[in-house]
Amino acid sequence: MSIDRIVMAFAGVMILLSLLLSHFFGDWWLLLATFVGVNLFQAAFTRFCPLALLLKRFGVASGAAF
């Protein structure tokens, strides 16, 4: 699996987790989904993603975006 696919899968899991937590524990958990969405948006333009940098250090194969 490439870095791109791992980043997208991780973002999807975090957004779903945020929605689940907000349903059961309060609306403040929606800030997590907002943070993930904003980070994905800025990564599309700047090509900077903290998770991608971490995965590169662990030796995960690079993808097209990162």
Residue 63 confidence (pLDDT): 83
State pLDDT tens for residues 5-64: 999 999 999 999 999 999 999 999 999 999 999 999 999 999 899 999 999 999 999 888
pTM as predicted = 0.86
Residue 66 confidence (pLDDT): 65
In 3-state terms, what secondary structure has residue 8? helix
Residue 29 confidence (pLDDT): 98
Q: C-alpha angle with apex 38: 44 to 32, nearest 5 degrees?
A: 140
